[in-house]
Amino acid sequence: MIIIYHCYGGSHSSVTAAAIHLGLLGKNRIPEADELMAIPYFDKTVNGDFGHIRFMGVDEYNNRIYVLGKKALGDRCNNILVGINELLNSSEKVIPVNTMTSVNWLMKLGGFGSRRLGIVWPGRNLVSYGTRKAYFDLVNLVEITRLKAIQVEEMAI
Amino acid sequence: MKVLFIAPTAVHQALIAGNIFLGRIPDDNLNHINDFGDMRADATGMPLFIGIDKNGTEVYTLGVGSEMDMLKKAIEDLRYILDYTEEDLVVYPIEIKGEPFLSLWAKLLAQLGWDYESPSIVTKALKQRLPELRTTIENFKNQLYN
């Protein structure tokens, strides 16, 4: 199964959710800023990365985890990804997850400053702080996604 | 093979392109095209099946909003991840002059409840683009089959 976490830039909330899913970040405590910065792609994307579905890893159920920056496409992105999968008649299941539901204004402001305006130091600090504040929301979203993946897998059997 | 025409909506220029591809607009009357301007058909964000040509190519349209290049990239990446190639699915963005205005107008009117048909101003503007679209699609078809 393929799980794609997507957010505006594919740089913060989606990457953090994917890292939680893959066990790169623990579920029971809020990570420090330097732990967030150590995640692949966290606050490191550039303009050309928009629209690229980037591989993050494989979870214990052999699900492949990806991240995507989809700008302001919203939930429509879910239907597009599922629709393309159906159009191709693929036997693989695709679960797209919009992580924007867990994003707070600190993350938006910090992400905009760091990635769009290039004001890296204050933007990065702000987005790290915001991500830490939203952390358990992201953990919750990941847990829901993992359960959904198990359900989808069971239904397919 | 499958061809997917993408544009800001699935039911305007992408739908015209799909129908030109299938050789279905002989009289230039856009209102005779199934689902033309029907934003309800575009609302889901799922690809819209248009038909099959004589070579067995399935034609679809998809509304992707204003970020066509970005979405083309995402669809092609997903195609690659799912282990398919350009032999299976070709994504073709339909870009025409005055596009931001047309999309904005169509979407604005759809928000106001006029979502079941294309407003005449949009239809008129698209009709003016028909020769340009025909050339684009003929070139694309030649590329695809030759």
Range of the domain at A29: 2-101+135-156
Give A29 to chain B, closest Cα distance, Å.
Answer: 33
Of residues A50, A73, A81, nearest to B78 (C-beta): A81
- Say whether B70 and A71 touch across the interface (CB within 8 A): yes
In a domain, A109, yes or no: no
pTM score, whole prediction: 0.90
Sheet holding A54-58, edge to edge: A54-58, A64-69, A2-7, A94-98
Give B44 to chain A, closest Cα distance, Å.
Answer: 7
Question: Is residue B88 within 8 angstroms of chain A, CB to CB?
Answer: yes
Q: What is the ipTM of this complex?
A: 0.92
In a domain, A122, yes or no: no
At A77, the pLDDT band (50, 70, 90 cuts) reads very high
How does pLDDT run across B96-142, given as a tens digit for each residue? 876 666 667 667 777 776 666 666 777 787 888 889 999 999 999 99
List Cβ neighbours of A7 (8 Å cut-off, separation of 6 or more): A13, A14, A67, A69, A70, A98, A99, A100, A103
The residue with tokens 């976490």 is A5
Domain count, chain A: 1
In a domain, A107, yes or no: no
How does strand A64-69 pair with strand A94-98?
A: unpaired
Q: What is the mean pLDDT of residues A139-146?
A: 97
- Say whether A83 and B47 touch across the interface (CB within 8 A): yes
% pLDDT > 70, chain A = 100
How does pLDDT run across A82-135, given as a tens digit for each residue? 999 999 999 999 999 999 999 999 988 888 887 778 887 888 889 999 999 999
In a domain, A70, yes or no: yes
Distance CA B29, CA B127 (A): 8
In a domain, A83, yes or no: yes
Q: What is residue B99's predicted lDDT score, i.e. its pLDDT?
A: 67
